[in-house]
């Protein structure tokens, strides 16, 4: 068999023959709708020169379609039990390479070093395991690999957070961290019915175009992320209260007020109303001048 690892019958058959039951704990909800799979592949804008990194190939449904369009597909799968399944479903696809291991624990650059020339632009395409969506996405964005485009199926609720703008219900520290490094755009929402087994939540396909440069100029990234985290610690509290409770001590209150004034940000505003540019400005003022006030 070399095609259609997405047909429900074939997926069930291959899993049965290999005596495999899918593990909820590994986020194993396999896609069984060829149309949706094709839309993921279409959204990745692949050419015959593309190198694709797939996280979690499962039974190889998406991998097959990616391999049809790209030069090479490098896939990382945590579950060794899938090795004989993938050997079967990908037997007709010599341009697929599978590495077994936990994507969160491995040195990604080292793992794929032999598979593609250093510096080759990469496209990520995946139906991600939902229990680790955010850490995987952050690793892809900050791991130093030359990733240009990311097309992933994730929980709808997380996709909304990635795309959210100031003032929207889903806007938070994840929106800012991701939009700082990439431009996210939801491609489509996906019902539970296209997976085996069905997940408990709705899903969405989102594309992220990774920026060549960060969206805003931040002098100390670690501090910028700390500031954002503190600003959203309790959504109902004002920016001032959150910063006082989570980042500064009582005796620093006056200095903080002056810094907010210098950054032209009203301390009574809530974190969820601040744009990424305002967070960057505040971060740079606090970082540079907190001791000088």
List residues near ligand SAM by CB under 6 A: 26-31, 55-58, 61-62, 76-79, 102-104, 127, 129, 132
Beta bridge partners of 185: 207
For residue 120, the tally of other CB atoms under 10 A from its CB is 15
Query: Minimum CB separation from ligand SAM for residue 19, in Å?
Result: 16
**Shortest reach from residue 86's CB to ligand SAM, in Å:** 10
Query: Shortest distance, CB of residue 258 to ligand SAM, whole angstroms?
Result: 45
Rounded to a whole number of angstroms, the minimum distance from the CB of residue 184 to ligand SAM is: 19
The rounded Cα 213 to chain-centroid distance in angstroms is 18
- Token pair for residue 57? 């190939």
Minimum Å gap between C-beta 231 and ligand SAM is 30
């Amino acid at each position: 068999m070399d095609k259609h690892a997405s047909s429900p019958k074939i997926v069930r058959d291959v899993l049965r023959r290999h005596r495999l039951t899918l593990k909820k704990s590994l986020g194993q909800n396999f896609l069984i709708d060829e149309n949706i799979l094709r839309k993921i592949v279409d959204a990745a804008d692949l050419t015959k020169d593309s190198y694709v990194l797939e996280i979690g190939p499962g039974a190889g449904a998406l991998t097959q379609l990616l391999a049809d369009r790209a030069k090479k597909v490098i896939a990382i799968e945590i579950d060794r039990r899938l090795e004989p399944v993938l050997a079967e479903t990908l037997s007709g696809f010599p341009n697929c390479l599978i590495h077994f291991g936990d994507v969160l624990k491995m040195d990604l650059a080292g793992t794929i070093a032999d598979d593609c020339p250093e510096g080759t632009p990469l496209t990520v395409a995946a139906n991600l395991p939902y229990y680790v969506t955010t850490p995987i996405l952050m690793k892809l964005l900050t791991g130093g690999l030359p990733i240009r485009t990311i097309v992933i199926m994730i929980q709808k609720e997380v996709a909304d957070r990635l795309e959210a703008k100031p003032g929207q219900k889903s806007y938070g520290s994840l929106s800012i961290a991701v939009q700082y490094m990439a431009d996210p755009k939801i491609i489509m929402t996906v019902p539970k019915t296209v997976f085996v087994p069905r997940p408990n939540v709705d899903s969405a396909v989102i594309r992220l175009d990774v920026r060549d440069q960060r969206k805003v100029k931040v002098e100390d990234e670690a501090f910028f992320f700390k500031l954002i985290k503190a600003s959203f610690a309790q959504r109902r509290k004002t920016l001032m209260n959150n910063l006082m409770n989570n980042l500064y001590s009582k005796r620093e209150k006056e200095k903080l007020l002056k810094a907010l004034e210098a950054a032209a940000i009203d301390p009574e505003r809530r974190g969820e109303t601040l744009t990424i540019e305002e967070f960057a400005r505040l971060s740079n003022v606090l970082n540079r001048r907190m001791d000088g006030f």
